[in-house]
Structure 1
Amino acid sequence: MERRVLIVAGFGFRTGANVASLCTALAAAQHECAPVKALAAPLDKLTLVSELAEALGLPVIAVPPDALRVPITQTQSIASLEARQTGSVAEASALAAAGPGAQLLATRHISPDRMATCAIARSGVEGPAA
């Protein structure tokens, strides 16, 4: 059986963020690794991420609140810790969406307007090649 690799961009962002904020954070994170195959965000933040996903032709993965607390993130944001009980919403979203055994390819990158963050994770998934 072939292994299909899932590369996911996870996002965290402030209420005032826009698609451009997400796009610039994604571009900065993706500069370091292969193109993403899906976007992920906390369940309550999917609307804006879905806009970007539609523009890019990518699926969106909703991350439940409890799943954000499971992954150990490489970076630590006081705001993320207070709001979501995780060091980085972007890293936790990417890792949770990529599945068990996921590894970060890019730690969180902050958009120039400081409204959004993006991190990228990779996981091997059993199944047909993508």
Structure 2
Amino acid sequence: MTGASVVAGIGLRPGTSEADILACLDGALAAANISAETVRRFATLASRLREPGIVAAAQARNAELVAIPDEALKGFEASCATRSTRIAALYGVGSVAEAAALAAAGPGAELIQPRIATARVTCALARSAERSAP
């Protein structure tokens, strides 16, 4: 892979549609001025991995879908730019989307777009630190 890759962290309520997920993702991409083609991985809670909406959204964008265990999110609390009191009470982290994006992007990842929230879904973007040799 050339350069750093971009990961979309996605938090969603059960039953969220593919269209709602992609609309939120596209909002985050537009806010960060990033092309949709640069996102090759979607990260979400392990408990949401089989949600039909996120499975369809990942397939539509030809992206790998990865599960982040709830307990793994907690290690990213300090790196989260935003905080939802409800989510913090449930998962021990201010933003599932931000923590999932950072976790899936790997060590040294950078949050490049804090979460964008709609009624049913949140999306944040992180860039991996990995770079290919020149």
Check whether TM > 0.5.
yes
**How much has 1:47 moved relative to structure 2?**
1.9
* 3-state SS in 2 of match to 1:8: strand
CA distance in 2, matches of 1:46, 1:79: 21
CA contact (8 A) 1:33 1:105 kept: no
Asked if 1:57 corresponds to 2:57, the answer is: no
CA distance in 1, matches of 2:64, 2:3: 16
Structure 2 match to 1:108: 115
TM-score, normalization by structure 2: 0.85
Count of matched residue positions in the alignment of Structure 1 and Structure 2: 126
CA distance in 2, matches of 1:80, 1:16: 18
CA contact (8 A) 1:13 1:115 kept: yes
Give CA deviations for 1:24-56 in whole Å, capped at 9, x if unaligned. 110110111433121110111112322211111
Counterpart amino acid of 1:28? Answer: G
* Structure 1 alignment gaps of length 5 or more: none
| Greater per-residue helix proportion | 2
Structure 2 match to 1:26: 25
CA contact (8 A) 1:108 1:119 kept: yes
CA distance in 2, matches of 1:10, 1:84: 15
Larger RCO: Structure 1 or Structure 2 (Cα < 8 Å, ≥ 6 residues apart)? 1
Q: Aligned runs of 1:1-130 on 2, under 5 Å?
A: 4-31=3-30, 32-34=32-34, 35-48=38-51, 49-71=54-76, 72=78, 73-111=80-118, 114-125=119-130
Q: What RMSD in Å do the two structures reach over aligned CA positions? A: 1.9
CA contact (8 A) 1:3 1:124 kept: no
Large movers: runs of 4+ above 3 Å = 126-129
Distance 1:76 1:56, change over 3 A: same
| Greater per-residue strand proportion | 1
